[in-house]
Every structure is written in C-alpha cells, then in structure tokens.
Chains A and B, each alone.
Chain A
C-alpha cells in the first residue's frame, strides 16, 4: 500500500516538473504557433543559475546564509531566463510567426549553439548542486512511507507557479489580452491590442517558467549542457496530449504522462515504460487528434 502511494507521489512529482516545462511551450505554441526547440535550453539556463548562485554563496557569503541560496537562485533563474527569452524573441522568433516548421528548425539551431556555449563556460562534464540543509530528509507519513522534502518542495513550487499563471491568465487585463491573441489574433489586433508586445511578453514568461523548472531540477540530480534535451520531447508530448489553448489541458496532459510514466516504469522496466507511454500517446491521438482540451473554432487552413 505504502509502495503504491510512494509510486503515485513520484509520478505526481514528475508530472509537476513536466507541467512547469510544458506550460511555456503551450503558451508559445498556442499563442504564436512557434515550436520552440530551444525551450529545453532555458531549463539548462535555470539549472546553471542555481549552480552559479550556489558557488557565489559558498565563496562570498557566511556559511549560515547558505540555506537561502536556493530561494535567491529561483529569482535569478526567473530574471535571467526571462531576459534571454525576451532577447531571443526580439532577435529571432518574431520573424518566424506562422511558420511552425521553420521555427522548429531555427530554434533547434539556437538550442545547439546555446548548449555549446554552456559547454564552453561550465565544461562538458555534469556539475552537482548541493541542496540546502532544510530540504534534506523527508516527511515520515507512516513507518515505511517517507516523502522527500525536495520533491514536496518542488510540488509546492509548481502549484504556486500554476496558481500565479492561472490568476494572471484568467483574472488580469494582461492575461485577457494574451488569451484574446491566442484565440483570434486578427480580431485582437483590430481591438487595439499590441500583439507584438503580447507575443514578446508571453515568450519571455514561458522561458522564465522553464528557468524555474531548471532550478527545481537541480535539486534532483546533476546538471549538464544537454539537460534540456532530456525533457524537450516529453514536454512537447504534454502539449500535444493536452491540446492547445487552455491551461487545464496542459495540466491534464502533464498529470497523465507523469503518472503513467512512473506507473509503467515501475511495472515493466525503465525502457519499456517510456516506450509504452509514447505508444499510448500516439494511440490516444488517433482517438482525439487535437488533444484532450481544445478551443473550438471553425477555421480551416
């Protein structure tokens, strides 16, 4: 029983990270029809920010302050990933609107270049980030069910992020503009919304979320230049499975993939589990080609 609960918890924790990664993709893909293959590199940027902040704390701050480095690094990761995302949008992405396949190729190029830059700065081998003291250990629910604080913290962090995104999208003027552009760009532009600015903001925001996800991932394992590529295809599967245009679809997609992945890996083996999950997704899309949740429209290409 407790083993089952632990598996469920692990699946949930994987889902939450996938969700944080996929949310930015869902925004850019749904809003601007851009397939950002460089999204994984924002995970990498976030993770390396955690590493950098930790190094700085170890060198220049008293040991007693070390526990706080992770909170700072979350902020740093958000700001840096947001800034780089904005830069990328202005320099490249805006030329690719409405050309999803071309955007895929160009951003793949960006991804290759960013990985190489990281390799030059931090070296090819993985680096490890030491988790702060207050995240060590776990919560003893029963005698044999221990939930690690790290994963609990990540789930909490993601829940907070999703709540903020939800409030922004559905209860603020900026979010309303974003949804308007997503559903009907021309009409939104006619009503005086600066679609250019909405695009840039959304892209940067999505990138910043990936940065936070990268920060969270640094708690779970070592960091390398290719950390993003492990997650990018999974994240795209979340978006495709969830459907485009609604937050709830992405949440459902991430939950489905995360829990199924963990469950199938547990009952079969790590490799077969992954294969089964992806096969199930392809099979599911035969039934609902547009994903779980979609905005109905009458548009024909």
Chain B
C-alpha cells in the first residue's frame, strides 16, 4: 500500500520534472538550450552507471570509453556524409590513401546507429565476462576499467590516420538531410534526447523493480549468498554491464548530434570519473537521482567555470569529498529519507548503506 503510494508520488515528480524540461525552449536562450540537451544526453549515461553501480554495486570507471565509442560511431557517419565521395580531411593529412575497411559500414546511418550501441556492448561483454567469471570485483574491477580507458584513449590518440588523433572528429554539416547548424534541427534533437531520456527512465524503473532488479540488488548486498542460493551472478552482472555500456553508447550518439565534436579528451580518465560523480551527487540507487545528478552537476560546472574558472577543480574536488562523507545517498536519497521520516524526528539520522554496514 505504502509502496504503491510512493511509486505514485515518484511518477508525479518524474512527470513534473520532465514536463518542465519539455517547456525549457520557451524560457532558455538557444545556447542554454543546447547545453541542456547535452546534459540530458549525459543523464542517460548516469542512469546506466546507476544501474551497475547503485543497484549492482560494481563501480565502473570506464564509462567514458563506451560513451566515446558510441559518439565516434555516429561521428564517423557524420564525417563521411559531410564530405561525400572523398576521404575525410584528417586522413589525407596523415597519409592514409584509401578509406579503411572499418569505416565502410558507416556510410549507412542505420548501421552507424546500430554499431554505436553494439560496439560498446561488445567491448563491455568481453571485459565483463572475463573479469566477472574470474570473480574480480570491487576496487580491482574499477582499476581494470581504468586500464580500459587508458588503452582506448592511447589507441585513439596514436592512430591519427584512422581516428583523427587528439583533435577527434568534427566539422559535420548534415544528418539524414537535416542541417545540423539550423535552430530547428537543434530543437528537434533536444526533444529527441528528452524522449529517449523519458523512455530510458521508464524502462530502467521497470527493470529495477522487477525480479531481475531484485537479483541485482542481492548481488550488490551479498554476492556469495546469491551464488549459494543457486543463481549465477556472472550472467546478471555481464547483462547489466552490457546494458549500461549500450546506454552510454546511446548517450554518445545523442551527444555528438548536438555538440558536433568528439575527441579522446571527452572519453578519458577524468570524464569517466566525473560521470560517476553525477550519480553520487544525485543519489545512487534511484533512477531520478541519476538524472537529477547529471543535470545539477553539469549546470553547476557550467555556472562556476564561467565565473571562476580556476576555482572549479577545487569545487569539484570538494563536492566529491562532501558527497562521500556527508551525503552518501546523494541529493535524492537524503531528501527522500527526511521526507519519509519528517513526522518521526527521533529516528537515527541515517540508515547505513550496504557498504557501510559491511564495513
């Protein structure tokens, strides 16, 4: 009964939030609107990270790679269509004489879109299957996922002739005949991103309340017990890791369509860890928290770094520390805790999260 009421409240809050964002074009400047569109794309990554970190307890510091792979897949298509029937400019500069074989499928927009989802999932499957099968977990997995970032970024920077090197891919003109610079296209992509976010929020909310979601939470709270009961955690962990990588790839597609550039700097160690921070600030183990975190953190980043560029890294660092020490459940988790207990002031201040309880 209570749970049903809570989920109704949640539905109303999600509805109001998404509705407000849908009205944003009415009162935001074009520049701010394109920023918001980008942040919405980030929110999709945040949901993905929340699924594996908040719900399954696996901290991946490599989601920048999946985001980047998705973005590069789409960017390769955009690059090919913006200079039809000739080599992309950076290839001729680097002395590559003919189009490499792995660029060929990207002539088709559909293939590029599908690959943007499939390539991150395949990479995630390979890394996830082997590490989870060998029961590498916790901090060890986090380090391995960082190694993945280093590998990928080094490759992308080093193979300049095939990937555009440090500069990445940019200078796109059109997508499916739409002019990427025009205001109407930008508005279209904004609403497209919002629609995708809505769908992802609904699907992932269904996922985490389902039986599968319960098993994921059980893996987070006591993996060995899950194993003893007779489930194979590897299957579930690999599944959710791949799903999360696919979401990051999807976010990459939407990002590159709006931003018009992707470079290795956007998929490195620093962005990968920042993505985790979005979830931590918004509130892990809540889908709404992931979305809110991505929007709030990035809005704060833009505001602060415009006003005090030198102070932003210190602010960001302080946020990491404050969230971990004082708000382990993030904004949404803390608010909902007080909301639930506001008539019962004598309860202990916080219920320990699983990680605290284990320590």
Q: Which residues from chain A sit less than 8 Å from chain B, CB to CB? A: 29, 33, 35, 92, 95-106, 108-117, 119-120, 229, 233, 236-237, 240, 269-272, 274-275, 278-279, 281-282, 285-286, 289, 300-301
Knowing A106-B324, A112-B317, A120-B310, the reply to whether A35 touches B359 (Cβ < 8 A) is no
On chain B, the residues within 8 Å of A100 by CB distance are 138-139
Closest to B225 in A: A301
Question: Could you tell me if B154 and A101 are in contact, using CB atoms closer than 8 angstroms?
Answer: no
Q: Is the CB of A285 within 8 A of B355?
A: no
Excluding A102-B328, A115-B313, A289-B140, 20 further A-B contacts by CB distance (< 8 Å) are: A29-B139, A100-B139, A101-B138, A105-B273, A106-B325, A109-B319, A112-B316, A116-B311, A116-B313, A116-B317, A233-B143, A233-B147, A236-B143, A271-B155, A274-B151, A275-B155, A278-B147, A285-B136, A286-B130, A286-B134
Residue from the list A33, A233, A300 in contact with B150, Cβ < 8 A:
A233
In whole angstroms, how far apart are the Cα atoms of A235 and B144 in the complex? 12
Shortest distance between the CB of A31 and any CB in chain B (Å): 14
Query: B151 and A279: CB pair below 8 A?
Result: yes
Most B C-beta atoms less than 10 A away, residue of A102, A289, A301: A102
A104 close to B139 (CB less than 8 A):
yes
Residues of A within 8 A of B319 (CB): 109
Cβ–Cβ contact A233 & B146, under 8 A = yes
Q: Is B325 in contact with A99, judged by CB distance below 8 angstroms?
A: no
- Contact, CB under 8 Å: B59 / A113: no
Chain B interface residues toward A at CB < 8 A = 59, 61, 127, 130-131, 134-136, 138-140, 142-144, 146-147, 150-151, 154-155, 157-159, 222-224, 269, 273, 276-277, 280, 310-311, 313-314, 316-321, 323-325, 328, 355-356, 358-359
Question: Complex formed: what's the CA distance from A35 to B136 in Å?
Answer: 16
Most buried by A among B131, B316, B321: B321
CA–CA, A104 to B58, complex, Å?
13
In Å, the complex CA distance between A100 and B57 comes to 12
Chain B: CB-nearest residue to A33: B139
Which among A33, A105, A116, A275 is the interface contact of B277 at CB below 8 angstroms? A105
> Do A109 and B320 touch across chains, with their CB atoms under 8 A apart?
yes
**Contact B59–A101 (Cβ < 8 Å):** yes
Chain B residues in 8 Å Cβ range of A285: 131, 134, 136, 140, 144
Which residues on B sit within 8 Å (CB–CB) of A104? 59, 61, 139, 142
A102 touches B324 (CB 8 A): yes
Query: A300 vs B142: C-alpha distance in the bound complex, in angstroms?
Result: 20
**Is chain A's interface secondary structure helix, strand, loop, or mixed overall?**
helix
A186–B331 Cα distance when bound, in Å, is 35
Q: A102-B324, A104-B139, A289-B134 are in contact. Are A109 and B147 (CB under 8 A)?
A: no
Residues of A within 8 A of B159 (CB): 271
CB distance from A76 to the nearest CB of B (A): 25
- For B130, give the chain A residue with the smallest CB separation: A286
Say yes or no: A289-B136 contact (C-beta < 8 A), given A112-B317, A274-B150, A275-B154.
Answer: yes
Chain B residues, CB < 8 A from A97: 359
Nearest 10 CB-CB pairs, A to B?
A109-B320, A271-B158, A98-B359, A113-B317, A112-B317, A109-B317, A116-B313, A100-B139, A106-B324, A289-B134
Complex CA gap A204/B344 in Å reads 44
Q: Which of A98, A110, A275 contacts B151 (CB 8 A)?
A: A275
B59, B154, B325: which contacts A95 (Cβ < 8 A)? Answer: B325
The contact of B139 among A101, A275, A282, by CB within 8 Å, is A101
Q: Are B139 and A35 in contact (CB under 8 A)?
A: yes
Q: A35-B139, A109-B320, A285-B134 are in contact. Are A272 and B355 (CB under 8 A)?
A: no
Chain A contacts for B280, CB-based, 8 A: 105
User: Do A301 and B223 touch across chains, with their CB atoms under 8 A apart?
Assistant: yes
Q: Which residues of the other chain, B, contact A233 by a CB distance below 8 angstroms?
A: 143, 146-147, 150, 269
Picked from A98, A237, A272, A281, the residue with its CB within 8 Å of the CB of B358 is A98
User: Which residue of A has the minimal Cβ distance to B143?
Assistant: A236
CB-defined contacts of A111 to chain B, threshold 8 Å:
317
Of chain B, the residue at the smallest CB distance from A289 is B134
In angstroms, Cα B138 to Cα A113, docked, is 25
**Among candidates A103, A117, A271, A272, residue contacting B314 with C-beta atoms closer than 8 Å:** A117
Give the CA-CA distance A84 to B221 in the complex, in Å: 35
